[in-house]
Amino acid sequence: MPRRLRGWAPAKINLVLEVLGRRPDGYHEIDTILHTLDLAGTVDLELESARPGVTVAGPFAEGVPADQTNLAWLVAAELARRTGNEVEALSITLDKQVPAAGGLGGGASDAATTLRLLQRAWNAPEDAVVASALAVGSDEAFFLAGGAARAQGRGESVTPLTPLGRHGVVLFVPPGSIARKTARMFEALSNLPFDSGSISQRYAQGLPEPMEGLSIYNSFERIAFDLFPGLARLWQQLEERLSQPVHLAGAGPTLFWIGDVFDVPRMAMAADELNCTAIPTATAASLWRR
């Protein structure tokens, strides 16, 4: 049984994100098409550490909990409970290369990678891994496989899709976020007509190739620019400079461009001196590709 393990924890973007309505359990029903990116942090586990707990490092470590409220620790404890293992001596080290609270799924990705590593170490059954992911959050189920997928329900019902051919992506990460971000986004959408799921259904039959900004749909864009201070101005500046559309990543506030990989350097440079951090990356076929 390995004592030390390492895995990659990639970011994701939503190519389509439709909100269908409010569920009786308080969650919202969504229908979304997700795709993982090359941009990834790492998760390091030590199963018998003299210093157990969570350590967070990397350029986007600020604001990420380094305690037992971290999603990676929560899923580890959940899987341990379901499989009869212990986490008292477990050390989890997260290298945060994915911006936190940016709509890129960084925390959920850390959690899913933690589960996959512990599955290997503990020989845990797949149903326990999936149940542990669903007990903690919604995007975790998608990140267990990565690549491209359609997620429905609150995000827990995942159908794999054929990934895109390699596309360039540039992330534009503004400083800061807002308190209770996702809850406030859903609350604001409640005053608007909900989506039908028809766009996700069409994409599930085959992702358009090549993918361009005009093909992206995110329901949160109807209200995000009212909730995030300065985001509307940044969006306008980016589209003026790029002469191409940019879109909200998940629940934001990160914006992104997608297109030809050869255009990535030019698109990233277009954000020079704007109030954001530009991160060039690309679509990736699988979480466990490396």
* Tokens representing residue 99 in the block: 């911006």
Alpha-carbon gap, residue 124 to 120, rounded angstroms: 7
> What count of other Cβ atoms lies within 10 Å of the Cβ of residue 33?
25
What lies within 8 Å, CB to CB, of 229 at 6+ separation is none
Tell me which amino acid residue 282 is. Answer: A
What distance in Å separates the CA atoms of residue 111 and residue 70, rounded to the nearest whole number?
A: 9
Q: How many CB atoms lie within 10 A of CB 46?
A: 16
Cβ–Cβ under 8 Å, residues 113 and 8: yes
| 195 assigned to active site | no
Among the options 12, 95, 96, 195, which is catalytic?
Answer: 12
**Cα–Cα distances in Å, from 228 out to 16, 179, 223?**
20, 10, 9
Please state, in angstroms and rounded to a whole number, the distance separating the CA atoms of residues 148 and 143. 10
Distance CA 107, CA 144 (A): 13
- Residue 12 catalytic? yes
Decide: residue 196, CB within 10 A, 0-12 exposed, 13-18 middle, 19+ buried: exposed
Of 95, 139, 181, 195, catalytic: 139
Helix, strand, coil percent values for the chain (each to nearest 5):
30, 30, 40
Whether the ω angle into residue 10 lies within 30 degrees of 0, i.e. cis, is no
- Catalytic residue numbers read 12, 139
